Amino acid sequence: MITAGDEYPLHQTSRPVRDPGTERNLYDRFFFNGYTRDASVYFAVAFGVYPGRNIMDGAMSVIVDGVQHNVRASRLLGDDRLDTRVGPVRVEIVEPLRRLRVVVDDAESGFSADVTFTARCPLFEEPHYLWAPGHRTVFDITRLTQNGTWSGSITVPGGASIAVDDDNWLGTRDRSWGVRPIGEREGGAMEAPPGFYWLWAPLNFDDGGYLFDVNEYPDGRRWHHSAMWAPAGPLDTPVEQGTAEYDFHYRSGTRHAEHFELRFALPSGPRTVSLTPLYNFYMQGIGYTHPQWGHGCYVGDDVRAYDVLVTAEQDEMSPFNQHVQTLVRATRNDGAEGIGILEQLIIGPHAPSGLNEILDPHP
């Protein structure tokens, strides 16, 4: 059961807080995304603690006018696990499980943000993630996901301040902790053919929010799945849990979606939600699959960096661009319109998709 104490990045072992035990890949992470209802601006934040590697890192990326601005920072973790600041990035827990604040003040680049997330739906407690494709557990994770609104302001280099208000900004945040691959690659023989299939879709509608996720083996068997609905309003309202099937229509020459449809089976009845992609956010901007700034990697005792990428110019078959969050319009079978993201990371073969190699594109 998720409690308010789980909001704080202190998860590890039965030992004292500063002793992470023998697991190098232990992590504790905040993730956030936010977007305008008209889809004109998108941002994402990652902030992680890695006790077994003595590292804390954080990053924020904002897409404005087709340009993705990225600020990343990393430092040695040190002794104080509750000091959630790294370089110009910090996360504040204003009210556990209800309100969190993200502040970025990168004077060197001119990138700044002060935005507060406020929950608008009860949280989704996802089923436990446990993945052991070979002789070793690779994922052993607890995660919560919550939809909400944003308020505050963002300034990107060379641009005017962007007002962020609860009426026009929606988004999702998650908290996860446990064991997953982080930091520099460990040695040893490969135990199983490489492959990873990950889809995650938190969606915001005026009357509430949905969460769908699925992880599959190369033959299409599922090793993790959730499909949930939470109404907007009181945060103690029960969440509906069900199942979902999906149709994934690939954009030719890529491993990303051209169209996606979800068919939910929930206690309150079936619902179909069609997703229309708008544009990609490249997760490397906040460290995911980044060749240098990967989560938990040592890049210096106290360092930061800023760069930009033009989203329309990205090679979608680059190994560093496979992990994306695609901003989508969502249309429900009753005519209701929503917005959200479809996160995609597909590496290696996946028989139901007709993918056979490490990184062959869909025809």
Residues in the chain: 363
- pLDDT score, position 86: 98
Q: Would you give per-residue pLDDT tens digits along the chain (363 residues)?
A: 777 767 887 776 545 555 666 678 889 999 999 999 999 999 999 999 998 899 999 999 999 999 999 999 999 998 888 899 999 999 999 999 999 999 999 999 999 999 999 999 999 999 999 998 877 888 999 999 999 999 999 999 998 899 999 999 999 999 999 999 898 877 666 555 578 999 999 999 999 999 999 999 999 999 999 999 999 999 999 999 999 999 999 999 999 999 999 999 999 999 999 999 999 999 999 999 999 999 999 999 999 999 999 999 999 999 999 999 999 999 999 999 999 999 999 999 999 999 999 999 999
| H or E, element range at 326 | strand 324-332
Taking CB atoms within 8 Å and a gap of at least 24, the contacts of 99-105 are 100/7, 100/30, 100/32, 100/173, 101/152, 102/32, 102/45, 102/60, 104/60, 104/71
Residue at token pair 């990107």: 156
Residue-by-residue DSSP string for 78-116: -S-TT--EETTEEEEEEETTTEEEEEEEETTTTEEEEEE
Q: Which CATH class is domain 26-182+192-353?
A: mainly beta
Nearest to 9 by CA among 179, 175, 252, 169: 175
